Every structure is written in structure tokens, then in C-alpha cells.
Amino acid sequence: MTNLLSLRAVRLWTCLGVALLATQFSFAQTDPEPVSSALPLDDFTTREVVQERRVLSHQPIREADILWEKRLWRVLDVREKMNQTFTAPESPLFQILSDAAMAGDLTVYSTQDDRFSKALTPEAVRSMLYKVDTIYRPNIDTGIDELVVVENVRDWESVKRFRIKEAWYFDSKTSTLQVRILGIAPLMDILDENGDFKFEMPLFWVHYPSARPLLAQNKAVTHAGNYAATTTWEDIFELRYFASCVTKENNVNDLRVQDMLTGADMVMHGKQIEAGIFNREHDLWSW
């Protein structure tokens, strides 16, 4: 009996030794798996709804059907609560427009007028947004300061307001008052050497009808708080989900409201212009 147990123990230890040697041999012969260089997905699913969105074309309008029209220029201040979407760090509007313009994916126009008469090249946009400067930088190897050229990019948060050009018209075919946005221009604050405000300058004009496909493929962060929402920048403008004030209407002398009034009177006059447009539509339906 004792010999039988000893024989079984020897066989058991022999099997364990062979298994251990086989395991070590297999590990020695197997090459280590390469480490993947792909970044992990910061989500639990792939988001493609916004990227694949296509815009719906506006219904064509015959000139003969335009019974009445008025051009308005508005200023949108991003510091207002309703306009916080425009400065959301996840997708600020100015950064989207400027990046697309520098990449050549969006054509922007000079601010010499607001009729989109002169297109700007991507290089011209980059020179406008990036300030070239020379500084002395110490060289660690030689210990001597060297003169180097650096580019200082303008901060997108310095754009506090946007100018919007739009056309209001009455369509006699559908008997409705319609509005079409024509252009958007970011306004940048220009400061003096002491950091004090001097004036604001429009950087470039964006032709809104041409920019709609780009805006439709960029998500906008709204106050709803629903991260799964697919509201895009094209939705923001088409649904007019923003607050603004009228600063100009088409007139004989091409004057702005601030050229005629100041202070609270200027704001009230802008509201009167908007009220006049809606009153005109109501008057057409009176009986």
C-alpha cells in the first residue's frame, strides 16, 4: 500500500513538473502583444448623428413674390445669459468659424463692406488671428539668450459680440413674414498698451447661407443640460435661439442707430424697429 502511494506521488509530481516546463516554454516562445497606439473613446458609443447631418435647402423665393423687404443689422452680446451657448468651451462659435477659415473649409470675406465683395485667403485669416512677435529665449546648451520668432494666437474669448445681417420680407405667395440671415461677423475688442478698451473691430464676414453645412455638423451646447441633444449651430440660428438688439436698418443716408441716438434712446429705437416689422404683418391681416 505504501509503495502504491509513493508511486502515485511520483507520477503527480512528474505531471506537475512537465506542465510547469510546458507553460514556461510557451511563454518564452510567444511574442508580447504590441501596445495599441489608438486613444480610448471618451464615451460609451460613437456619436455620428451630428457629423452626418445634412441641411435642408431654403425654399426658393421669386423676386415677384417679395411684396416688402427690410434689411436689419443686429449685435449679439455673448455675455447675456441666453447667449452663453456662443462661448461654451466645448464648441465656441468663433473658434469653429476661424478654424474652418484657416483650414480652407470656409470662405470668409473682408470687412471693407458687408456685401461679401472680397474673399479672404486662409493665410490672410491666419495673419489676422495670429500675432507674430520676437522674444529672447535662453539657450540651455550655450547659456546665451537667442532671438526667436513666435506666434501668439488670439483668444477666442476676446470676441464678446457678433454682428448679424438679415433680411425680413413678406412673401405674397404664402402671405407670411419671413427672415433670412445673410451674414455673421465676429467683433473683437481692441485694447491699448495698458489693457484698456479702445474700440471693437469686425474681423471678417461669414456668408451664412454658404456656412450652413458647416454649422449643421457642429454641435452647440444649450441650456437644456441634455448631453445627448443634437442641437447644432445651424439650429441655433434657424430657430433664432439667441438674444440681440437692432443697431441699424436700411435707410437713405445709411446711418446706424448710434449715429442718431445715444444711451437708452438707442436701445428703445431698436425695439421700435422690431415692433414696426411685426405690426406691418398684423396690419396686412386686419379686417
Strands 130-138 and 119-120: unpaired
| Burial bucket for residue 113 (CB in 10 Å: 0-12, 13-18, 19+) | exposed
Q: Which pLDDT value is given to residue 276?
A: 92
Q: What is the helix (H) or strand (E) element at residue 14, kind and residue range?
A: helix 2-29
DSSP letter (8 states) at residue 221 = -
Q: Is the pTM of this model over 0.85?
A: no
Averaged pLDDT of the chain: 85
pLDDT tens-digit map of 225-279: 888 889 999 999 999 999 999 999 999 999 999 999 988 999 899 999 999 998 8
What are the helix (H) ranges across 239-284?
263-284
Over residues 116-141, the mean pLDDT reads: 85
pLDDT of residue 24: 57
CB atoms within 10 A of CB 162: 23
Q: Which residue has the cell 435707410?
A: 251
Give me the mean pLDDT over the 73-79 stretch.
Answer: 96
Q: What is the distance of C-alpha 245 from the center of its chain?
A: 21
Q: What is the pLDDT of residue 4?
A: 45
Interatomic CA distance for residues 125 and 108, integer angstroms: 8
As a whole number of angstroms, the distance between CA 163 and CA 184 comes to 6
**85, 223 Cβ separation under 8 angstroms:** yes
Per-residue pLDDT band for 43 (boundaries 50, 70, 90) equals: confident
Reported as a single tens digit per residue, the pLDDT across 200-215 is 899 999 999 999 999 9
Angle between helices 93-103 and 208-216 (to 10 degrees): 100
What is the chain's Cα-based Rg?
32
Shortest CA distance to 106 belongs to which of 207, 182, 183?
207
